[in-house]
Amino acid sequence: MTEKSVLKRSIHKDSCNEVIDLALKIPDIHVLVLGPESCLRVLYFRAFRKELLDRFYMLNVTNIDPITNSHMESLKSALESIVLDSNYTPKGIIVYISCSDIVMGTDFTSGIQYIEEKYKVPVKIFQRGPLLKRRMLPKERLSNIFAEILEFHNKSSNDLNKRAVNILGEERISKDSSLYKIINKSGYDKINDFCNLNNFEDFMKFSRSNINIVTHKFGINLAKNLEKKYNIPYCFIPQKYILDDLRTNYLKLSEFLAVKDDFENIEKGFKKYLMSIPEDIFHKRLAVGLKDNSLEIAISLLQWGFDVRVVFIENISMEQFEKIKSFENANEIKIYTNSFLKEKNNNEFKHIEIAIGEYAINKCSNAKPVNYKESYDISFENIKNLIGDLI
């Protein structure tokens, strides 16, 4: 067994790599990251911010190591340290490797087999980096790994709980959400939320439930594996804002849960809420610029009569562009990609009165800032909360 010095830990700057968050969502799963220091720096802070460093480890790999394969012994020692030095035996270890090992085609089989056979702990390789992005999204690969770890520990699914629902997504769903309400109405008495696991046994229950509801594409591969291995059907209901999409999602979920579709009544209730809003809010010039769903939110606001003038987005599809152009004031709506924004002067947006989201706030310095944070919902709660912030 090696000393803990093998497992290098230090505080580094934040990263956009949210895969670390997801990898540590399941209790008793540990993550070991391999790579040069330049790569390790951008991964640490996620675990630090979530206070999950007790299950997060880093092993420095020099530029020469993948060529000589000299880091294999260090890897084996690091894995053994994780198993033996933990307060409890991990239920699984995810080894996070970088491009250097991918390019060299490093074979991790011997080190992994040694740990799996000696300690009965599954060890899974997660490949990361730009070389892999075109093959499969990182979160989809991680979803497959979760399915493999579940299968490793759960050879049988005889202990079924036929009144339980699994929710597979990236964020915890509020128990007050429309999703919980429609599930409860359908008669299911147990809801297993992937982002609200108390222990590994909660994760094991995913193979003993009746149905899966997938709220983010990350969960699709896991749902497919659960369907294949344990005959558990799934329904994909992603976050939506545009009226037609909301209606389609609600109908799809109602049919899946075998409950009455009452979307019409929900829509009437939302329209009644709109009538209570001060009239002047509908005439405020808005800019929308969030990390995700900027265009969908802008279209939703336009559908309900709000005056959206500027949208900041990462990219745009032709279908989305056509939806924007279908509105009466389409000629007054400007759409900017974030890469193009660097060339724009903030004075060009001084006419904006309310800026929604980080990108819009940064560019519309004269506007009222609205730091909107979305949460998953299948009806009008998200857009209703946003409108409340505008007032």
User: Domains in the chain, start-ordered, CATH in brackets?
Assistant: 4-135 (3.40.50.1980), 164-257 (3.40.50.1980), 277-390 (3.40.50.1980)
Q: What is the pLDDT of residue 13?
A: 35
Lowest mean pLDDT among 64-78, 176-190, 219-233, 239-253: 64-78
Residue 102 has pLDDT above 90, yes or no: no
% of residues, the chain, pLDDT over 90: 50
> How does 132-160 read in b/e, with b if 16+ C-beta sit within 10 Å?
eeeeeebbebbbbbbbebbebbbeeeeee
Give the model's confidence band at 155: pLDDT under 50 very low, under 70 low, under 90 confident, else very high.
low
Residue 350 has pLDDT above 70, yes or no: yes
Q: What is the pLDDT of residue 42?
A: 67
Q: Model confidence over 354-365: pLDDT tens digits?
A: 999 999 999 998
| Token duo for residue 374 | 């979305």
Lowest mean pLDDT among 18-27, 224-233, 239-248: 18-27
Q: What is the 3-state secondary structure (H, E, C) of the chain?
A: CCCHHHCECCCCCCCCCCHHHHHCCCCCEEEEEEECHHHHCCCHHHHHHCCCHHHEEEEECCCCHHHHCCHHHHHHHHHHHHHHHCCCCCCEEEEEECHHHHHHCCCCHHHHHHHHHHHCCCEEEEECCCCCCCCCCHHHHHHHHHHHHHHHHCCCCCCCCCCEEEEECCCCCCCCCHHHHHHHHCCCCEEEECCCCCCHHHHHHHHHCCEEEECCHHHHHHHHHHHHHHCCCEEECCCCCCHHHHHHHHHHHHHHHCCCCCHHHHHHHHHHHHHCCCHHHHHCEEEECCCCCHHHHHHHHHHCCCEEEEEEECCCCHHHHHHHHCCCCHHHCEEEECCHHHHCCHHHHCCCCEEECHHHHHHCCCCEEECCCCCCCCCCHHHHHHHHHHC
Q: What is the pLDDT of residue 332?
A: 81
pTM of the model: 0.84
Lowest mean pLDDT among 75-84, 135-144, 375-384: 135-144
Q: What is the pLDDT of residue 335?
A: 87
Question: Which of 32, 27, 29, 28 lies closest to 9, judged by CA?
Answer: 32
What value does the mean pLDDT take over residues 115-142?
Answer: 79
What value does the mean pLDDT take over residues 223-249?
Answer: 95
Give the model's confidence band at 7: pLDDT under 50 very low, under 70 low, under 90 confident, else very high.
very low
Q: Residue 73 class from Cβ within 10 Å (0-12 exposed, 13-18 middle, 19+ buried)?
A: exposed
- Choice between 12 and 345, residue whose per-residue pLDDT is larger: 345
Query: How many residues in the chain?
Result: 391
Q: Model confidence over 271-302: pLDDT tens digits?
A: 999 999 999 999 999 999 998 889 899 999 99
Q: What is the pLDDT of residue 232?
A: 95
